[in-house]
């Protein structure tokens, strides 16, 4: 974070300095944090109200730990009974966004000066693949200059401004993941950080229940394109007609990516090795207009990651990297965020694919196909699947379809976890699964107990659900090599 004074923060947020005796020249030079355990000397502690805890209750402790200032909605008393140094605002979340917006304007101005870093902001959105694409892009760009990208999946009205505030005058690339679960969400985020390059991956069924329909999802995702800086570049998926149509609202240049020959930046000849890792030929025009082809071999498991990689490549090319540089970066990039196609070969011979951070029909299908490839013909495949949340009226049908797909892919055993995943079991049965090829676990403990007895050397087990379904806890247990006790599983 760039150094700011208390007066700077008050001006950016429309807040008041408290107590009245607080020196306006007090310097905040540490990171902005919302967790008091992450406070460093000189930090700004952002006291957000939460579902389970109120940040104001931890503000005094944050100051004791070294925070220089608190962003709060009310006075907070320290252990001595005196108010802690704070900027008090009506709405802390909005103030956090206002502060990030002001800081980014300052960084852009500094970047444009002679000798400046040449800051470029890249925004990534889509119904699936945002975090992986963000991680790939950050690693590729990191080879070319100082790069800031979100931790984990910091892609909302809190995570995005916190990421912006991590940038400083040396930052050359600021990669921002932008999530949306309704109309107007991306407009808000791009209002804080208008991208120079906006990447749209796919319009799918994630959060479909909240949006109210697939066309509403498309309109919401298009907001990132409309939120570009005036001369910004829209990087659009040529393989998705709803994304491709967003070219009509782009303020400037449009570049497409995909696996079809119509794409400007193309992943040609995608293939998988025995471990399920994708390789392809990256094809793109150079600065001289001559089309070049360079091989890419990913470390990530799953054919769908080729699409994420070519999206990252298209964005990296637009901010000035060469195709050789991009291909080399993609070929050494790793999966950085937890519970996203994290593959572990346990000492007992079981391979765990932990993809339990999130799920929707698109990502569930991709994960099941990856499981089938990794297991091949000589290993047993086991899919442990939880509920896909926020699908609205289509939920039962969508879960049923996943159960049917598991049968068509010859998954050896499908374990549906929780009542919300019951239609997965039903779909598998209706598709023709035999009784011992599908099971229903009432909860995570039941699934853990079942797998404790069921897993044997050579098995490949996928764990996949929406984060709120909680299967990430089972993923952690399986990766660690143990499952623990539980109850019975119904077949």
Residues 6+ away with beta carbon under 8 Å from 136: 308, 309, 312, 330, 333
Give yes or no: residues 248 and 172 share one domain.
yes
Give 433-457 pLDDT, tens digit per residue: 666 899 999 999 999 999 999 999 9
Rounded to a whole number of angstroms, the distance between the first and last alpha carbons of the chain is 54
Give yes or no: residues 53 and 113 share one domain.
no
Distance CA(297)–CA(239), nearest Å, equals 21
Q: Which of 200, 195, 202 is nearest to 231 (CA)?
A: 195
> What average pLDDT does the segment 207-231 reach?
86
The boundaries of the domain holding residue 17 are 4-90
Give yes or no: residues 157 and 210 share one domain.
yes
Q: Which of 91, 99, 39 is nearest to 68 (CA)?
A: 39
Query: Domain boundary at 90, 123, 148, which?
Result: 90
- When mean pLDDT is compared across 57-61, 103-107, 181-185, 295-299, the lowest value belongs to 181-185
Give yes or no: residues 346 and 317 share one domain.
no
Residues 6+ away with beta carbon under 8 Å from 84: 59, 60, 63, 70, 76, 77, 78
Give 66-118 pLDDT, tens digit per residue: 999 999 999 999 988 899 999 999 999 999 999 999 999 999 999 999 999 99
Q: Is 241 within 8 Å of 260 (Cβ atoms)?
A: no
Give yes or no: residues 74 and 118 share one domain.
no
> What average pLDDT does the segment 280-290 reach?
91
Residue 117's pLDDT is 94
Asked if the structure places residue 337 within a domain, the reply is no
Asked if the structure places residue 273 within a domain, the reply is yes
Query: Domain boundary at 332, 366, 385, which?
Result: 332
| CATH number of the domain to which 314 belongs | 3.40.1190.10
Asked if the structure places residue 51 within a domain, the reply is yes
> What average pLDDT does the segment 459-485 reach?
86
| CATH number of the domain to which 444 belongs | 3.90.190.20
Give 11-66 pLDDT, tens digit per residue: 999 999 999 999 999 999 999 999 999 999 999 999 999 878 899 999 999 999 99
Asked if the structure places residue 214 within a domain, the reply is yes
Asked if the structure places residue 409 within a domain, the reply is yes
With 50 as the cut, is the pLDDT of residue 213 above it?
yes
Give 332-343 pLDDT, tens digit per residue: 999 887 888 889
Give yes or no: residues 430 and 354 share one domain.
yes
- The count of structural domains within the chain is 3
Give yes or no: residues 319 and 422 share one domain.
no
CB hemisphere CA count around 432 (13 angstroms): 5
Give 245-269 pLDDT, tens digit per residue: 999 999 999 999 999 999 999 999 9
With 70 as the cut, is the pLDDT of residue 367 above it?
yes
Give 303-313 pLDDT, tens digit per residue: 899 999 999 99
SS3 222: helix
Q: How confident is the model at residue 487 (pLDDT cuts 50, 70, 90)?
A: very low
Asked if the structure places residue 454 within a domain, the reply is yes
Give yes or no: residues 382 and 460 share one domain.
yes
Residue 157's pLDDT is 96
Asked if the structure places residue 485 within a domain, the reply is yes
Give yes or no: residues 107 and 144 share one domain.
yes
Give yes or no: residues 72 and 154 share one domain.
no
Asked if the structure places residue 10 within a domain, the reply is yes
CB environment 336-375: b (16+ within 10 A), e (fewer)? bbebbbbbeebeeebbbbbbbbbbbbbbbbbbbbbbbbbb
Residue 488's pLDDT is 35
Give yes or no: residues 41 and 99 share one domain.
no
Q: Is 469 within 8 Å of 417 (Cβ atoms)?
A: yes
Query: Domain boundary at 90, 115, 140, which?
Result: 90
Q: What are the start-end ranges of the E strands in 259-385?
A: 265-272, 277-285, 291-301, 342-345, 351-355, 381-385
Give yes or no: residues 160 and 282 share one domain.
yes
Share of the chain above pLDDT 90, in %: 82
What's the mean per-residue pLDDT of the chain? 93
Residue 209's pLDDT is 57
| CATH number of the domain to which 27 belongs | 3.40.1390.10
SS3 144: coil
Distance CA(448)–CA(384), nearest Å, equals 10
Distance CA(7)–CA(362), nearest Å, equals 48
């Amino acid at each position: 974070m760039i150094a700011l004074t208390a007066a700077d923060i008050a001006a950016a947020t429309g807040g008041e300095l408290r107590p009245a005796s607080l020196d306006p020249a007090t310097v905040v030079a540490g990171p902005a944090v919302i967790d008091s355990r992450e406070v460093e000397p000189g930090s700004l502690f952002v006291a957000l109200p939460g579902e389970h805890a109120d940040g104001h209750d931890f503000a005094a402790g944050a100051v004791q730990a070294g925070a220089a200032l608190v962003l709060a909605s009310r006075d907070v008393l320290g252990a001595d009974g005196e108010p802690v140094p704070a900027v008090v605002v009506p709405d802390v979340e909005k103030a956090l966004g206002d502060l990030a917006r002001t800081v980014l304007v300052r960084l852009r101005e500094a970047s444009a000066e002679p000798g400046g870093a040449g800051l470029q902001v890249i925004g990534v959105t889509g119904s699936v693949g945002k975090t992986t694409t963000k991680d790939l892009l950050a690693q590729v760009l990191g080879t070319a200059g100082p790069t800031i990208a979100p931790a984990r999946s910091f892609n909302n009205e809190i995570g995005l401004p916190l990421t912006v505030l991590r940038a400083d005058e040396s930052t050359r690339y600021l990669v921002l993941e932008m999530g949306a679960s309704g109309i107007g969400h991306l407009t808000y985020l791009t209002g804080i950080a208008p991208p120079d390059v906006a990447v749209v991956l796919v319009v799918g069924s994630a959060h479909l229940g909240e949006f109210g329909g697939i066309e509403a999802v498309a309109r919401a995702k298009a907001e990132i394109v409309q939120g570009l800086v005036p001369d910004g570049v829209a990087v659009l998926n040529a393989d998705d007609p709803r994304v491709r149509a967003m070219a009509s609202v782009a303020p400037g240049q449009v570049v497409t990516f995909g696996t079809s020959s119509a794409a400007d930046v193309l992943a040609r000849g995608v293939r998988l090795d025995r471990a399920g890792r994708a390789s392809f030929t990256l094809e793109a025009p150079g600065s001289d207009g001559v089309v070049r082809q360079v091989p890419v071999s990913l470390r990530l498991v799953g054919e769908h990651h080729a699409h994420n990689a070519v999206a990252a490549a298209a964005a990296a090319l637009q901010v000035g990297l060469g195709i050789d540089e991009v291909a080399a970066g993609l070929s050494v990039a790793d999966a950085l965020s937890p519970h996203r196609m994290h593959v572990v070969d346990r000492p007992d011979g079981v391979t765990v694919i932990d993809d339990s951070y999130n799920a929707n029909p698109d990502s569930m299908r991709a994960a099941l196909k990856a499981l089938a490839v990794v297991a091949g013909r000589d290993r047993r495949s086991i899919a442990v699947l939880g509920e896909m949340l926020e699908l609205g009226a289509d939920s039962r049908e969508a879960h049923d379809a996943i159960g049917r797909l598991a049968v068509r892919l010859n998954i050896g055993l499908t374990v549906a976890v929780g009542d919300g995943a019951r239609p997965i079991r039903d779909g598998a049965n209706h598709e023709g699964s035999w009784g011992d090829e599908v099971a229903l676990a009432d909860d995570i403990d039941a699934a853990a107990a079942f797998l404790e007895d069921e897993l044997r050397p050579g098995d490949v087990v996928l764990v996949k659900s929406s984060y709120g379904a909680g299967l990430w806890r089972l993923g952690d247990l399986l990766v660690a090599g143990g499952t623990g006790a539980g109850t019975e599983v119904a077949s």
